[in-house]
Amino acid sequence: MMYWLCVQLTWKMAGQLLFRFLNPATLIITPHYWWAVFNFRLATLVKGPSLVNNPYSWNKLGNVLYLESPAGVGFSYSLDGNVTTDDDETALNNHHALLHFLDKFPEYEGRKLYVTGESYGGVYVPTLALLLKDSPRFKLMGIAVGNGLTSHKLNDNSLLYFIRYHGLVDESSWNDLVAKCCADPCSTWCAFTDNKTGECQRIISQLMELALKGINRYNLYSECASGVNTLFQQSMSMSIAEISSSLQSSKTYLCHNFGSMFRDNIYTRYHRYADSTMPCIDDTLIRSYLNSPAICRLINVKPDVPKEWDICNDEVNVKYIRTYEDLSKQYMKLLQSNISTLIYNGDIDMACNYFGDEMFVDNLKLKVRELYC
């Protein structure tokens, strides 16, 4: 496992270790990408990209440990080359990585520990926290998940409401969706993806295609970095069925059902298959910086590891086994163990939208102690 420890710059909160674990829902943006965002900023100079100090860096509040996981992500690698894994094995490997970290740096043992993550961190964080909470070597205080994937079903279905509430589909199309997919058109909630009829799947596919065309799914109101290039525009004009067929014929990707189409970012994966850059994200600076020989030597990347750092790894995504469809039991166990838990969202992320997480928290049926203002 590749890690990067950013030590605390001030002594205001001495004794705390903040463990930051990041991973998005599908294409696996690696922690080092966010390390450069949260702790430093990258700037373009004549001699190439260079780091610029971030005055709001997290390690002014505590020690921050970034871990690239699972194997295959970033500079982390598998000894036998097999990157197939699942939610439980990933949690166990992360736990072992932290134990090895304490063996190497025993001065951090027993300090207050907070585990945080975003996107698919909604799965990684609670599954790891359950292993940490009973360990005598860790003093787990709390977890935090931002824009997290906490329930596949709620995330998929709430996305359709998100599309409607943000005016991305017209009323006629929405009424058609409700009529074709919902048992009770007057209900305030409909599990659209539970309806497997061809008519329902057709209208869902149409609405999803409309919602994805040329939109930055990580920031609804932001333009795509460097605009939307020709290849991406071509992929946007194809239907989900056409793209799925194209990827399937390449023997590289296969999408089994609608419920995983947006979560697995089928459009993004097609674009990655056809080109080498991520749509809407300009990762040129970070890739250039982390793959420079000088930086690789400085951060102790093994020279015999035959891989370059990239913002995502499609092989890991395809081979990853999603063990848990819903994380309610895991979050409840942590809450019952008095582990402070924060689930927070912005309102413009479509990949893991706020509405799905809001419904997830509501479904936990927790008693409100005090309203947050």
Residue 62's pLDDT is what? 85
Q: Is residue 154 within 8 Å of residue 160, measured between CB atoms?
A: no
| 2-151+284-363 homologous superfamily | Alpha/Beta hydrolase fold, catalytic domain (3.40.50.1820)
Residue 276's pLDDT is what? 44
- Strands 40-45 and 112-119 turn out to be unpaired
Task: Scan for tokens 């097609």, then name that residue.
Answer: 270
In the predicted model, residues of the chain with pLDDT beneath 50 are 23-30, 46, 228-277
Residue 21's pLDDT is what? 59
Residue 181's pLDDT is what? 95
- Residues 51-94 have pLDDT tens digits of 778 888 888 888 889 888 999 888 999 989 899 999 999 999 99
Residue 279's pLDDT is what? 60
Is the omega angle on the peptide bond into residue 70 within 30 degrees of 0, that is, cis? yes
Give the integer Cα–Cα distance in Å for 337 and 131.
12
Residue 312's pLDDT is what? 80
Residue 27's pLDDT is what? 35
First to last CA, the chain: 40
**Which one, of 236, 239, 241, 238, lies nearest residue 214 by Cα?**
236
Domain ranges of the chain: 2-151+284-363, 169-214+226-274
Q: Three-state SS for 263? A: coil
- Residue 39 has which token pair? 């702790």
Task: Scan for tokens 């951060």, then name that residue.
Answer: 299
Residue 31's pLDDT is what? 52
Helix, strand counts (H, E) of the chain: 14, 8
Give the integer Cα–Cα distance in Å for 367 and 263.
31
